[in-house]
Amino acid sequence: MSEPVYRRILLKLSGEALLGSQGFGVDPATTARIAQEVHEVAELGVQVAIVVGGGNFIRGVAASAVGIDRVVGDNMGMLATIINALALQDALEKCNTFTRVVTAIEIRQVAEPFIRRRVIRHLEKGRVVVLAAGTGNPYFSTDTAAALRAMEIKADVILKATKVDGIYDADPQKVPEAKMFTEIKYLEVLSKRLAVMDTTAISLCMDNNMPIIVFNLNVPGNLKRVVLGERIGSRVAR
């Protein structure tokens, strides 16, 4: 297919997606590759919003496990997502893609505050919008933020980028015979406790009939293939 099957997408990127071969922080080459793939999709006329995590710097849950207050740790994690969003914006602009970073925490010197109608207007004008700082609240993951923002901007689908080909019944990196699902229902994901997105995010998508496609971002061109309708990865729906 040469025409995109989605008009507006929300791409969920983990912070680890920007790591590359590094153990910490942002790898410029990896970030540039991801930006180029997003640019190619935007060139098709697809409106792209991105929710980015902060796990390459810090996770609130992990921070609380070593003694940092959970709320403080989550706030640190939200700030980490802003660092990643700015890195992604820089890489996208080097691909000549107009980009806006929008945050749930006000930090006006470097990014716009999240205002739903303004974000939709940016998308309509062909700008890629990078949504940072999660929901702006502790105890909510960036998966939940992705589900929430997808609903708010009326996205057609959530594209969850991972380092494996889709959703498996076990960790394929530990269990070679793990089975991959090409199609799976929300309730199955919840009942089987599959590590797709957290339960809050899955429930929110189920309640609002928001489809999720889980795919391998490490395969060059996969993002474009998904947008063009190829059967890549795993689809979660009713």
Range of the domain at 51: 8-233
Q: What percent of the chain has pLDDT over 90?
A: 89
Please report whether residue 1 resides in a domain: no
Please report whether residue 145 resides in a domain: yes
**Domain harbouring 151, CATH code:** 3.40.1160.10
Q: Is the pLDDT of residue 1 over 70?
A: no
Q: Greatest CA separation found in the chain?
A: 52
160-183, pLDDT tens digit by residue? 999 999 999 988 888 989 999 999
**Predicted local confidence at residue 128, as pLDDT:** 98
Please report whether residue 2 resides in a domain: no
Edge-first strand listing for the sheet containing 99-103: 112-113, 99-103, 128-132, 47-52, 8-13, 157-162, 212-216, 234-237, 183-185
Q: Count the domains in the chain.
A: 1
Give the predicted TM-score (pTM) of the model.
0.94
Tokens representing 65? 């496990």
List alpha helices for the chain, DSSP H: 28-43, 60-65, 70-94, 116-124, 142-152, 186-191, 199-207, 222-227
Please report whether residue 33 resides in a domain: yes
66 band by pLDDT with thresholds 50, 70 and 90 = confident
How open is the CA angle 113-201-208, to the nearest 5 degrees? 90
**Predicted local confidence at residue 162, as pLDDT:** 94
Please report whether residue 3 resides in a domain: no
Please report whether residue 159 resides in a domain: yes
